[in-house]
Amino acid sequence: MIKNQFLFFVLVGFFCALIDILAAKVLVYFGIYYGVAVSIGFMIGLLANYVLHAKITFQAVSSRSTVTRFGVVVVINYAFTLLLSYFSVQITGDFLTGKLLSLPVVAVNGFLLSRYWVFK
């Protein structure tokens, strides 16, 4: 059960990343400044991520507390990503290695916190 739920969690995350990117690309195509387009795309992807995980992955009732806890998880995962990217730059001179290494860390952390804290 937990293995299938984790796989679904990752697939939803991938789908939401595609929504994020597609929204940004469409907005840029229509002349929106890329910084604004990326920000809007990110927010749309994040909203889709929350809704899909709440309703489908964890079958939870949305509330102010789940939204707040979800936001905390986003900030924690962002910090992990920045930290690994920073160390990657210090060691290899390139941020991308750290960014890529952060993906499984963020996936596992996000899943565990979502399952046992955000949507419990």
The pTM score is 0.90
Domain that residue 108 falls in: 61-120
| Residues 75 and 27 placed together within one structural domain of the fold | no
| Residues 55 and 66 placed together within one structural domain of the fold | no
| Residues 46 and 80 placed together within one structural domain of the fold | no
| Residues 1 and 54 placed together within one structural domain of the fold | yes
Q: Closest Cα partner for 71 from 43, 52, 100, 101?
A: 43
Ramachandran assignment for 94, one of left (phi > 0), alpha (psi -120 to 50 degrees), beta (any other): beta
| Residues 2 and 30 placed together within one structural domain of the fold | yes
pLDDT tens digits, one per residue of 29-70: 999 999 999 999 999 999 999 999 999 999 999 999 999 999
Q: What pLDDT does residue 45 have?
A: 96
**Mean pLDDT confidence for 77-82:** 95
| Residues 55 and 80 placed together within one structural domain of the fold | no
Q: What pLDDT does residue 1 have?
A: 78
Number of domains in the chain: 2
User: What is the rounded distance in angstroms from the CA atom of residue 96 to the CA atom of residue 102?
Assistant: 10
